[in-house]
Each structure stands twice: as C-alpha cells, then as structure tokens.
Structure 1
Amino acid sequence: MSTTPTNLLDNSIAATARCIESLKEIRAEIDRAAELILKTVRSGNKLLICGNGGSAAEAQHFSTELVGRYFKNRRSLPSVALSSDGSLITCIGNDYGFDAAFSRQIEGLAKPGDVVIGITSSGNSANILAALETAKKLGLESISFLGRGGGKARGMATVDLIIPGDSGRCAQEAHLFLVHHFCDLIDAAVE
C-alpha cells in the first residue's frame, strides 16, 4: 500500500484521537492540576509557565488565554510565559547559562501562592528541571506537563501530567488539549 496524503491524514487523525482518548488514564492527575490552577487564579496569584520550542509556544498560548481572554469576557488573570522576553532570556543565558533561563525568573517574579508550570514533552529539558527545583526550594506548588514516561522531571512537581505513550507529537497535542480544558474550567469558575 502506497503512502498518500489521504492515508497520512487518516493515520494522523487516528493517532491524535487515540492520544486524546488516553487522557482518561490520567484523569485523577488532571483533576488535581485543575484544582490547583483554579485555587491559584481565584486567589489572585499567578501562573509562571515555561517550556522550550513548541512547548514555549504552548506556555505563551496558555498565558495569553488567561491575561487576555479565552471565550468569556472575564477579568484578566495573572500569568507569565517565561519564554516570552527574548532580551531577558538572552541576558540570563549569557550571564548564568541557558539552564537558568526560567529558574532565575522564578526567583525574581514568584510570590507565595504562585504556581510554576513546566512543559516538556521529553521530561528532560535542563531548564525545566531547574525551574521545578527552584519552585520546590521556594515552597511553590508546581505542575508538569510531560510526555514519554516523564523523563527526569517525573516526580519533581506537585502534580505530573504524563501523557501516556512515547510520542512527542502526541504529548504536545495532548498538552494543548489540556491547556484548553483548563481554560474552559477557568472561564466557568471566574467572573
């Protein structure tokens, strides 16, 4: 059987559907993360969200939905995508190394009650590991969006959202789905 664009599309749709369906396996962790996110935004505290590459885009997407709006006109909610400031990232990278790109920002921006969210499909990004370690040192709660078994980040956060399977693509698609799920919950809970 030859590979055609139609076959590739059908296979991709089927793989994504299986991936999203697999989220039922981590429903308890999703519910725990939702409770933590809702508690944080209801109390006026902020989410500090970080990721690299495609995960940086997801961090920015999540933060944008909170500070701007998702569907409902509601108050702006405090959130920072730590990958967004190129000048700051390059300053920290130059002076402290790229592994400190997010942890240094958490040290300067975090207040008690804030939550750190680290997004990495491999679970092995050194700057995400440092961010989660810094959150722990500061007494902050954290959520990790992971894939491929969780990697080195597994167990570092208050709540791990480890997407079942070994596909980085699936993990990123599921992470975006979860971002939208949490935004749905926030819109329903916050005026």
Structure 2
Amino acid sequence: MNETDYIAQYLEMEKQTLEALDRDAIKAVLDALMETYQAEGTIYVFGNGGSATTASHMANDFNKGVSEYVDRKFRFCCLNDNVATMLSIANDISYEEIYRFQLIHKLQPKDLVIGISGSGNSANVINAVSYAK
C-alpha cells in the first residue's frame, strides 16, 4: 500500500469513528461539565500514561482556552500534573492511591471527577472514581 492509499484509508476510518460516536453520551458529558461550571464546582481530571497527557491537555483547554472567552473561569484541576505529589503518595502509601488520596477532604458534592483510562483497569483511577461516587 502506498502512502496516498494509506492516508485515504486512515481518513475513512476517522469518518467512520466520528459517525459511530454516541451523541447522547457526549451531551451527557457536556451537561455534567456545565452543571459543575454553573455550581462553581471543581472538575478533577486524571489518568496514566497517554491518558495523563489527555487529562493535562483537557485541563489546559478549559483553564485557558475555554475560560478565555467566558466571564467566570472553569475550575479544572489535573491531579497528574504534580509529579512530586504523585510520587510521594506512591512511595509512602501506594501507587493505587495517587489520585484518591488527593481527593480526600477536597472533593465537594458540587464537584465532578473524570478518570481517564484506556484499559478501564487502572487501579489508581478506579479507586479515585469509586471514592468520588
């Protein structure tokens, strides 16, 4: 397969992926974000590896990007952006607690927690989301 064919195949897969997205699920996420924003709650986001980068980028997009154009700023906090905090928790307590521990005594009923995991099996993400529930 040459590069042009590969590009065409890739673009077709992108189109199929976009068409397959669950629009109701996307709306539910947007509704949750707006509900938290209107309540002046904090949105905590986190993940591991590439998901950590996605979480960090998401926080940046809202803290600067979206917030640049609204009167009241979003309150996003990416729990994986402070490496020293994560490593001290991992070293002194356990790696499975690096996100949950950060939520203890901070999380409020008006807040939202978004854990990102490609596998869905990340114990530290699951522990934090379970705590948030």
TM-score by length of 1: 0.64
Match of 1:85 in 2: 82
**1:4 to partner: Cα distance:** 2.6
Aligned Cα root-mean-square deviation (Å): 1.7
Match of 1:106 in 2: 103
Match of 2:19 in 1: 21
Match of 1:9 in 2: 7
Match of 2:114 in 1: 117
Q: 1:96 to 1:58 in 2, by over 3 A?
A: same
Secondary structure class of the residue paired with 1:69: helix
CA deviation digits over 1:162-184, x for unaligned, max 9? xxxxxxxxxxxxxxxxxxxxxxx
The one of 70, 73, 84 equivalent to 1:76 is: 73
Could you tell me how far apart the structure 2 residues matched to 1:108 and 1:61 are?
25
Aligned length: 132
**1:70 to partner: Cα distance:** 2.9
Match of 2:124 in 1: 127
**Larger Rg, first or second structure (1 or 2):** 2
Q: 1:71 to 1:86 in 2, by over 3 A?
A: closer
**1:103 to partner: Cα distance:** 0.9
Could you tell me how far apart the structure 1 residues matched to 2:67 and 2:4 are?
33
Name stretches of at least 5 consecutive residues in structure 2 with no aligned partner.
none
Secondary structure class of the residue paired with 2:104: helix
Match of 1:47 in 2: 43
TM-score by length of 2: 0.89
Name stretches of at least 5 consecutive residues in structure 1 with no aligned partner.
137-191
For the 8 Å contact 1:69–1:76, the answer to whether it is kept is no
